[in-house]
Amino acid sequence: MKLTNGKLLRNALTGIGLTLFAFGCAPKSTSNEPKTFDTDKSVSSNVIYGSDGRLDLYQVSDESLKKLADSTVALISQKSLISSGSSTLIKGSNFGSAYQLCSSEKFKEQSTAAFCSGSLVAEDTIITAGHCVQNATDCSTVNFVFGYAVKVLGVLPTSVSTNEIYKCKSIVKQVLTSGGADFAVIKLDRKVVGHSPLPIRQSGSAAVGDSLVVIGHPTGLPTKITTGGKIRSVANADFLVASVDTYGGNSGSAVFNARTGFIEGILVRGENDFVPQGNCNISNVCAEDSCRGEDITKISAVKQYLPVVITSPDLPSVSSRYAVTAHLTIPDNNASGIKSALTADAVPGKRKVYVTVNITHSYIGDLVIKV
């Protein structure tokens, strides 16, 4: 199963030099540089639909996003876990070596251990992709692991508390249709402690252009929070199509509406992950609205199989930028002045709004600006 691509939202509109924006974060990490297969030293960091929006947990300052991530899980096979009393070791492969990555690739020094992602939607219920847990055999070997994340710069997760690992008790519902709905509802072996169920959309539907956040385990890596996604199509009854920075391993990830904080769906399929560059591999690069996009099973297809849980999310402060740029003449001795408008596709919510105005005028001190 291959998934990839996405975008960091950039909305540009024409008009005067006025910009509203909110902030994002940055990358970097750690020791034990893995073996790489680089022959093209000019390769730059991967760019997926404009910018790579994947962030480790320690790179995210927004507490509401961290709270959402705290209720997501990595699906890890039993053979990749070694119990040691109150702690369980996680056996993973070096990401850079396993995928023969070029030296430009992000997170190449991290380990890949998960095969899918999921999210908590009731005190004992997980949702994931239908192809991740298909039958009783899968149910008996999968582990749902909370807290598999890089929480501190340079400290890679090699173990988790045994209490953070849950088993599959039963498959409540599993659907896997070619090119259609793809989801599984899993009842856990016990109630989850220390993590809150995530909110889902209860009514209405998402719209083209809505901003998205994906939280999961791309290529089996520790938790990545991916901002800047955007819905392309809502035409199909069972799934959305969106531009998001996702890979295999993100299958089953919760996809959140960046404005409301509610789950819009479950990530299930998309583009190829990597392409060759010399004798190493780089992330697949797509222009803003090119490639096939990523398919997300709509939560409306899943909701009837879930326990009734209503929660009110803390709205995530996902960064968005809007701008108008045009050259307008400022009239002298005219009290009515000039006006320019800026259109945004989301309300600020709990986000801070920053405004930058660029004006060139001989007598700048005589001007009055109202926002």
Residue 368 is assigned to a structural domain of this protein: no
Residue 161 is assigned to a structural domain of this protein: yes
**Residues of the chain with pLDDT > 70: what percent?**
72
The CATH number linked to 112 is: 2.40.10.120
* pLDDT value, residue 13: 24
* pLDDT value, residue 143: 98
Mean pLDDT in residue range 178-188: 94
Residue 357 is assigned to a structural domain of this protein: no
Instruction: Report pLDDT digits (tens) over 162-175.
Output: 999 999 999 999 99
* pLDDT value, residue 222: 95
Q: Is the pLDDT of residue 32 over 60?
A: no
Instruction: Report pLDDT digits (tens) over 36-95.
Output: 333 222 222 222 444 667 899 999 999 999 999 999 999 999 999 999 889 999 999 888
Give the range of the structural domain holding residue 68, as residue numbers without chain letter. 11-305
Instruction: Report pLDDT digits (tens) over 228-262.
Output: 888 999 999 999 998 877 666 679 999 999 999 99
Residue 1 is assigned to a structural domain of this protein: no
For the chain, the maximum distance between any two Cα atoms, rounded to a whole number of angstroms, is 80
Mean pLDDT in residue range 179-201: 96
* pLDDT value, residue 318: 55
Tell me, letter by letter, the H, E, C secondary structure of the chain: CCCCCCCCCCEEEECCCEEEECCCCCCCCCCCCCCCCCCCCCCCCCCCCCCCCEECHHHCCCHHHHHHHCCEEEEEEHHHEEEECCEEEECCEEHHHHCCECCCCCCCCCEECCCEEEEEEECCEEEECCCCCCCHHHHHHEEEECCCCCCECCECCCEEEHHHEEEEEEEEEEEECCCCCEEEEEEECCCCCCCCCCCECCCCCCCCCCEEEEEECHHHCCCEEEEEEEEEECCCCCEEEEECCCCCCCCCCEEEECCCCCEEEEEEECCCCEEEECCEEEECCCCCCCCCCEEEEEHHHCHHHCCCCCCCCCCCCCCCEEEEECCCCCCCCCCCCCCCCCCCCCCCCCCCCEEEECCCCCCHHHCCCCC
Mean pLDDT in residue range 259-268: 94
Residue 327 is assigned to a structural domain of this protein: no
Residue 351 is assigned to a structural domain of this protein: no
Residue 82 is assigned to a structural domain of this protein: yes
Number of domains composing the chain? 1
Residue 294 is assigned to a structural domain of this protein: yes
